[in-house]
């Protein structure tokens, strides 16, 4: 992700993947539905990082910085190995 538009698209996709409406996600994150709609559409051309963190957490995601060019983190690799070990 390199632009705010990418972040907005990602937020919308994780909300949909979690099967949540804008209203439900907003309630879980403690923000207004209007905030979710504005962040997904970049209506204000900007977004609050604190609101983004709350929304991602409410959809079941963490925001992790990853060095450019690296696709997976050590945590990702370990999680994959754990899943492979589970029957």
What's the confidence (pLDDT) of residue 87?
A: 63
Domain spans of the chain, in order of start: 4-62
DSSP assignment of 3-60, as one string? SHHHHHHHHHHHHHHTT--HHHHHHHHTS-HHHHHHHHHTTTS---HHHHHHHHHHTT
How far apart CA 63 and CA 55 sit, in angstroms, is 10
18-48 pLDDT, tens digit each? 999 999 999 999 999 999 999 999 887 778 8
Q: What is the CATH architecture assignment of 4-62?
A: Orthogonal Bundle (1.10)
The CB density around residue 10, as the number of other CB atoms within 10 Å, is 16
Q: What is the pTM of this model?
A: 0.71
């Amino acid at each position: 992700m390199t632009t705010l538009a990418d972040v907005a698209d990602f937020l919308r996709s994780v909300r949909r993947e979690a099967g949540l409406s804008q209203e439900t996600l907003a309630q879980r994150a403690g923000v207004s539905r209007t905030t979710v709609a504005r962040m997904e559409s970049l209506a204000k051309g900007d977004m609050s990082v604190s609101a983004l963190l709350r929304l991602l957490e409410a959809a079941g995601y963490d925001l992790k910085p990853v060095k450019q060019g690296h696709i997976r983190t050590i945590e990702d690799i370990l999680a994959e190995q754990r899943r492979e070990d589970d029957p």
